[in-house]
Amino acid sequence: MRIMWIKTLTVMMKFALREVLRKKVLVAGGLLTGVFLFVFVLGLHFINEQIHGKGFEQIAGFQFFTLGLYAATFLIVVIAAFAGVSAVSGEIETGTAYGLLASPVPRSQILLGKFLGYAFLLVVYDTVVLLAIWGATAWQLGVAIPGVIEILPLLYLETLTMLALSFLGSVLFSSLTNGITIFLLYGVALLGGMVEQIGALARGFSTTTVTALINAGIITSLILPVDALYRRSIYLVSSKAGGITDILHNLGPFGSLSAPSVWMEVYAVIYLCACLAAATYLFSRKDI
């Protein structure tokens, strides 16, 4: 029984991989990523020309890596969200879902198989992008950022959390509604993260205002923990930077002065599992 279950998931994973290739998600994502990496390397090159031999390479390297990671996280999360935005609703709208649902395969295995197929591609993509940013920084500025392997699981968790949420939305809403909802939620999470950092930077001012700003960021992190995981990643990397740790923590809205604890990682895992479990349950009982 277990072997049959694994075989079914494997078949659905292959189906999901073919579907992604058919929709040319990888092509579009690859082109956008290529443009981003080109601009990133170009920026590093010009910065290196300005500071070469002046002793600022380490600070510039960490700062550019942080900004590159922020931009890469945005790309990765958006691709993950829109990869799953029509995972169920799109199949129903085009009528292709009826052929799958007519088979004896349980709906839960159909959805989980598609999720695993998408997740596999996105994990590979995450790894390539993060290592490309790390390699570009080391190549242009001669700064090998420590702790990159340590934050890789956090990047995976960000991606899979967004993918699970988009699958849940795909069960509940149409593709258009789901896409708009997911993007707005992510925008709120980004804004909340920036507001929290601004609140942490303003700790010398009104205590009431600072507390309100930090609490607003925490609330948005609970609604969608993706940006909080990015802040956690930056905190882990900058903590290994030696004498420039305080400088890196104070990168304004892009920094991690108000850094989430390890419990945010635990919460994100629970959030991911809850979204995926809810999507599976609701899809199993959805009237199509």
Query: CA 195, CA 190: separation in Å to the nearest integer?
Result: 9
pLDDT tens-digit profile of 99-131? Answer: 555 566 677 777 888 888 888 888 999 999 999
pLDDT band at 197 (very low <50, low <70, confident <90, very high): confident
Query: CA 72, CA 37: separation in Å to the nearest integer?
Result: 9
52 compared with 133, residue with greater pLDDT? 133
Of 180, 152, 187, nearest to 166 by C-alpha is: 180
1 compared with 165, residue with greater pLDDT? 165
Query: CA 245, CA 158: separation in Å to the nearest integer?
Result: 24
Of 65, 83, 67, 79, nearest to 33 by C-alpha is: 79
Q: What is the pLDDT of residue 54?
A: 64
Query: CA 279, CA 200: separation in Å to the nearest integer?
Result: 36
Once rounded to an integer, what is the mean pLDDT over residues 249-274? 79
| Helix (H/G/I), strand (E/B), else coil: 24 | coil
Of 181, 158, 149, nearest to 269 by C-alpha is: 158
pLDDT band at 90 (very low <50, low <70, confident <90, very high): low
Torsion, CA 62, CA 68, CA 71, CA 76, rounded to 10 = -110
Assess contact for 134 and 146: CB atoms under 8 A.
no
Q: What is the pLDDT of residue 1?
A: 52
**HSE on the CB side for 35, CA within 13 Å?**
6
pLDDT tens-digit profile of 155-189? Answer: 999 999 999 999 998 888 888 888 888 989 998 88
